């Protein structure tokens, strides 16, 4: 008798494909699903269809399903993706913030639609190819780091609900990437093991968000051009191209020479002004977190030391936390650089994700 039925999110890449293969080998009843979130070629200046929403990726996912022997569905969620993810992406930049669309997509698109489809297809669980682990303790489910620290994706899963976590399987959390590539090769999927991975935002295929903003608003450059660069005292330093085209911590492309390096330390969208400062002015010991989702713990101790990551590749910094309802005041034990409004901050206790939220 087969084990429980599992709906596997499939992008056509090696990670989701091996996820399906491993679960099939373990005896699960597999159903594959691919979410079409974006018409990739519509924004790619090269005209080249690559990435998770290309025709090739859909075909690769379906071909694997046929070879292994399980049904596969493609679900069009482009409207929902545009309404919830892309519009938010644009609005965040237009308010001087730097969004994290991949976190939002996991929270508001992928898991929501996977669970809806799982219910329709009588699937008890859903599975993805993320390098992370899901654990439970004291009646709560939470995300923990994957075995492969270089590939760990626990940071982008902080927004998942308890229901989502309780029904999710992440088989790759126990593997290193090199092991997954070897598994693919050993099982006769050599081309899959050699497939190039994409690290771009799916709807910004050239990895140039400025061009994307301009494509969505042809008048944008004209509207925001000629704002002021100022220092922390408000002294005029020069003109910039428009506040949405800059991010906190940016140094290159400022075209300002004062005899020492300058960085973007603050963006004021109301006045279209950008504050430039030194590396020391870019550092801070405090941040406030809003829209907090609590995973392993719902009450954080003000006496305990935690570790907070303020970006995906951040190694994390020790901190103490004061909890105020659904917001958190984080005090770092040593200053950190480039705290950016709109980005995610994720709190860890060891390998376990305690909570996460959006930086104010």
CA atoms within 13 A on the CB side of 153: 22
Sign of the Cα torsion 234, 239, 242, 244 reads negative
Cα 346 from Cα 355, distance rounded (Å): 6
Asked about 123 being catalytic, the answer comes back as no
Q: What is the residue whose two structure tokens read 């799916």? A: 202
3-state secondary structure of 171: helix
Query: Do the beta carbons of residue 170 and residue 132 sit within 8 Å?
Result: yes
Tell me the C-alpha distance between 246 and 26, whole Å. Answer: 48
According to DSSP, residue 110 is labeled I
Exposure string for 277-303, b = 16+ CB within 10 A, e = fewer: beeeebbeeebbbeebbbbbbeebeee
From the candidates 52, 105, 123, 319, which is the catalytic residue? 105
Q: Which residues contact 235 (CB under 8 A, 6 or more apart)?
A: none
Q: In the sheet that 273-277 helps form, which strands lie side by side, from edge to edge?
A: 236-240, 227-230, 273-277, 263-268
Query: Which candidate in 44, 123, 202, 319 is catalytic?
Result: 202
Contact 192, 210 (CB under 8 A): no
From CA 323, how far away is CA 125, in angstroms rounded?
33
Element (H or E) spanning 24, and its range? Answer: helix 14-25
Strand partners, 29: 5
Q: Is residue 202 annotated as a catalytic residue, yes or no?
A: yes
Catalytic residues: 105, 202
């Amino acid at each position: 008798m087969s084990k429980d039925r599992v709906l596997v999110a499939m992008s056509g890449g090696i990670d989701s494909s091996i996820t399906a293969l491993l679960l099939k080998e373990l005896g699960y009843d597999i159903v594959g699903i691919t979410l079409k979130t974006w018409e990739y070629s519509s924004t790619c200046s090269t005209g080249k269809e690559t990435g998770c929403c290309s025709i090739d990726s859909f075909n690769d996912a379906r071909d694997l399903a046929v070879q292994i022997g399980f049904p596969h569905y493609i679900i069009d969620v482009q409207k929902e993706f545009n309404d919830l993810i892309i519009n938010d992406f644009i609005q965040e930049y237009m308010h001087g913030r730097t969004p994290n669309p991949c976190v939002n997509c996991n929270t508001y698109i992928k898991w929501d639609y996977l669970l809806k489809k799982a219910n329709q297809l009588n699937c008890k669980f859903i599975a993805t190819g993320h390098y992370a682990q899901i654990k439970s303790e004291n009646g709560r489910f939470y995300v923990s780091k994957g075995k492969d620290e270089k590939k760990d994706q626990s940071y982008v899963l902080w927004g998942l609900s308890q229901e989502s976590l309780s029904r999710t399987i992440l088989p790759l959390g126990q593997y290193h990437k090199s092991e997954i590539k070897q598994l693919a090769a050993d099982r006769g999927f050599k081309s899959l093991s050699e497939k190039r991975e994409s690290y771009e935002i799916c709807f910004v295929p050239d990895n140039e968000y400025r061009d994307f903003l301009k494509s969505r608003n042809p008048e944008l450059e004209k509207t925001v051009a000629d704002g002021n660069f100022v220092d922390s005292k408000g002294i005029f330093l020069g003109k910039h191209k428009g506040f949405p085209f800059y991010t906190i911590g940016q140094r290159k492309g400022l075209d300002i020479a004062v005899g020492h390096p300058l960085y973007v330390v603050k963006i004021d969208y109301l006045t279209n002004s950008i504050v430039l400062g030194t590396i020391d002015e870019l550092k801070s010991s405090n941040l406030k977190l809003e829209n907090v989702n609590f995973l392993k713990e719902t009450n954080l101790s003000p006496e305990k030391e935690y570790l907070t990551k303020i970006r995906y590749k951040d190694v994390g910094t020790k901190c103490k936390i004061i909890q105020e309802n659904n917001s958190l005041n984080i005090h770092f034990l040593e200053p950190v650089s480039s705290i950016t409004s709109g980005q995610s901050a994720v709190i860890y206790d060891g390998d376990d994700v305690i909570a996460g939220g959006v930086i104010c």
